[in-house]
Amino acid sequence: MQRGTFKLMKSVNKSIVLNKIRLSEPISRAQIAKETSLTPPTVSSIVKELIDQGLVRESMLGHSSGGRKPTMLHIHTNAFYVIGIDAGPEKVECILTDLTGEIIERTSSLLSKPITNEQFLSVLKESIREILQISNVNQDKIIGIGIAMHGAVDIETGTSLVAPILNLRNIPIKAALEEEFNLTIKVENDARAMALGESWFGGHGEVDSMVAVNIGRGVGAGVIINGKLYHGAQGIAGELGHMTIDINGDVCECGNQGCLQTLVSGSSIAKRARKQVMKGELTAKEIFECAQNGNPACIHLLQETGEMIGIGLTNLIHLVNPSKIVLGGGVMKSEKFIMPALLETIQQRILTTEAKKTKVTVTRLGDDATLLGAVALLLVELFDPLGKIG
């Protein structure tokens, strides 16, 4: 679908009806009117338009309470599609989904380093071309492309301001991809995209305040307050990994000393292993495998990592006080060894008894949380243009 032509949500009422169907399907017109306080004629008119546009379909008759059986409404899931991309820092992953986030196709491309802005954009374009080719989906049925990008992002211009692990700056992602594909492009920080993915697809119910923390090659967080993704005044909200934990600690990729990221990222765990556990090169994955095999030094290292993450999350709870924290990323695949120490640290350090109620869990979406968040960047535009989630 060409950029700028997908103007389906011309009114707040229309988005309210569509979102109600998404959250409550199957649902009748009468039930929509009752639950949204819109008049029955308004609901009927909007539903007709949504059916004509292919976004909503009718199903078999529902149950009657005495009168005529109502026709039930559903989202027409395969009426349109979305492309979601998790861009960097190690690879570019790309998925094509329907309107429910069901993954239809996926591709993956490794990023070679060092890399230039032009080379990075070339990988993005090739990934999109590849998924379009293997899916055989009509491009007119694609509502847009969402990109989850590591580092600092200007969401208004769709520019990657700083991608520290790739050592890149000022990548004009939105402009380049819009020119190439003539589709709506949304660019967001990867941790914030993960938070959005959790909100839409993680099965958390209606959670007004939630933080999703991605701990892998780096550490980042996405903050949702009052149902909305929070960006901060200058768009850097959620940079949890660059919270200073040790002012005399190792130098981070950002240039500061002692960031949380220098202690708990995958590469940092491997570095600590070389100092504390054994000589030689071990990855965080191999450390986990050694812990699984009962190596006490590796078990202790992961427990120590859990304690450090717990300190960072305690600071986060004191600052934001979310009702839920969801953890994801490669490091959390060592959940078995990390989580007990992490939770114990929070319980020991938290300021008040009430604040101990913050629920800390590991994502059920796995590695797809960020990719589905990239998809949700477009679904928000379709189902909820005011930005309210859930």
- The three state secondary structure string of 261-278 is HHHHCHHHHHHHHHHHCC
CA–CA distance, 196 with 190 (Å, rounded to integer): 10
| Banded pLDDT at 390 (limits 50, 70, 90) | very low
CA distances from 139 to 2, 85, 148 (A): 8, 16, 21
**Who contacts 289 (Cβ-Cβ below 8 Å, separation ≥6)?**
none
Label the pairing between strands 142-149 and 81-87: parallel
CA–CA distance, 164 with 358 (Å, rounded to integer): 31
100 three-state secondary structure? coil
CA–CA distance, 334 with 265 (Å, rounded to integer): 12
* Element containing residue 110 per DSSP (H, E): strand 103-110
CA–CA distance, 101 with 96 (Å, rounded to integer): 9
Q: Are 334 and 288 in contact (CB under 8 A)?
A: yes
- The mean of the pLDDT values for the chain is 88
Instruction: State residue 280's pLDDT score.
Output: 65
Q: Which of 177, 312, 185 is nearest to 258 (CA)?
A: 312
175-210, pLDDT tens digit by residue? Answer: 999 999 999 999 999 999 999 999 888 877 767 789
Q: Which of 270, 278, 269 is nearest to 297 (CA)?
A: 278
Can you list the domains of the chain with their CATH numbers? 12-75 (1.10.10.10), 81-196+370-383 (3.30.420.40), 204-363 (3.30.420.40)
96 has a pLDDT exceeding 60: yes
138-160, pLDDT tens digit by residue? Answer: 888 999 999 999 888 999 999 99
Query: pTM value?
Result: 0.83
Q: Are 365 and 197 in contact (CB under 8 A)?
A: yes
